[in-house]
Structure 1
């Protein structure tokens, strides 16, 4: 048996699909504002607004919808039509209704590790939306604890892990899932997603003794057994 006691999972783009829906909505947003700004310029303005608003709105679909509306007003210099704002709001509601699509190996991996370890979910974002996705995923009963937080910082992991030295955090974000978990004294495992959100980009801590990388979640039980 592994010497690890606690295995923690990120949710969005680790257990289920998420960023792909944001990209599809961005494309719809670009079509709506094409007459007011070139696509490249528009995406730059949208990303800048996302960075600017993180401290005000946090993460999630509602925050993204507000940021799209703000960007539409900015790039159109206040001339954006009410019908376009309505379309943006409708796109946000559609994202909130989108069914949860589990990623490959998600269920089997959580089930396998739950048999011998304390497993927890640590995710950030809008409370209601994350609770909805967890309920629809069918994975909720497998977790011993669930943490939905505003930001992932070392203190979050220290609080979630009774003994960080015997804990492991796995997720698709090096910035949020790997680095702060390692700083808290735990293991950090990176499982890359197909699409990376620009605001989550960070340098991979290659060579750190408590860092590991896997190609997909199906490799995690074997990695845990070997630590």
Structure 2
């Protein structure tokens, strides 16, 4: 097999917490609209709005807030109070300003990847300004050889990214919490896909694990990266 010369890291819920804050804000949303619908109904309506809107607004807090507002308008049949809309907007601003909480072994894993001799790149999708803010606050920025903030993660996007960095897909490895975005499309290019599960996963990122694929690996946390590299690329 080709030596691993490129290691990509997802950001949200791989290196630092993210989905936790979305869930807390969604609970706030459900509380604000409790007089109009039960939590399960609001959850389903909000998810449907996110599914409709992700192609227009992209991934991240801003699209989430717009989807909450749209859902609030729908379930109240246009009678949602301005104070509720204002509180949802305030919740979004709080999310955009929330301090970064690194996940276990995040820094050590990035350092281990670089020490292995690979080009180490952060590959994340979402709002440009928010992702740049989180990276700056994480204290990890100087550890990466490059940063790629993309609108979506598909096999074509990864293939172009690998080409731009001068690496063959067979020598690339990607680590992330999303099977749909971080693992399956990289396997499709011929690279290594390493799943690092987070206890919370957005429903739109759900996919089934490709058990049996020779380039698929799963780690309980980022602390397992160095042993994995020593095993598959000694």
- Pairwise TM-score range, normalised by the shorter structure: over 0.9
For residue 229 of structure 2, what is the aligned residue in structure 1? 224
Alignment map for 1:153-164 (pairs within 5 Å): 153-161=154-162, 162-164=167-169
| Runs of 5+ unmatched residues, structure 2 | none
Cα displacement string for residues 15-54 of structure 1 (whole angstroms, at most 9, x for unaligned residues): 0000000000000000000001111101000000000101
Which ranges of 4 or more aligned residues in structure 1 deviate by more than 3 Å? none
For residue 97 of structure 1, what is the aligned residue in structure 2? 97
Cα displacement string for residues 136-180 of structure 1 (whole angstroms, at most 9, x for unaligned residues): 001111111111011100122112221110110010000000000
Residue 3 of structure 1, CA deviation: 2.1
1:152 and 2:153 matched: yes
Query: TM-score of the superposition, structure 2-length normalised?
Result: 0.95
Cα distance in 2, alignment partners of residues 120 and 150 from structure 1: 16
Cα distance in 1, alignment partners of residues 187 and 226 from structure 2: 19
Cα distance in 2, alignment partners of residues 172 and 143 from structure 1: 19
Which residue, out of 200, 203, 207, partners 2:208? 203
Alignment map for 1:167-178 (pairs within 5 Å): 167-178=172-183
Which residue, out of 183, 196, 202, partners 2:188? 183
Superposition RMSD on alpha carbons, in Å? Answer: 0.9
Query: TM-score of the superposition, structure 1-length normalised?
Result: 0.98
SS in 2 for 1:194: coil
Cα displacement string for residues 72-127 of structure 1 (whole angstroms, at most 9, x for unaligned residues): 00000000000000000000000000001000000011012112211001100000
| Runs of 5+ unmatched residues, structure 1 | none
For residue 135 of structure 1, what is the aligned residue in structure 2? 136
For residue 12 of structure 1, what is the aligned residue in structure 2? 12
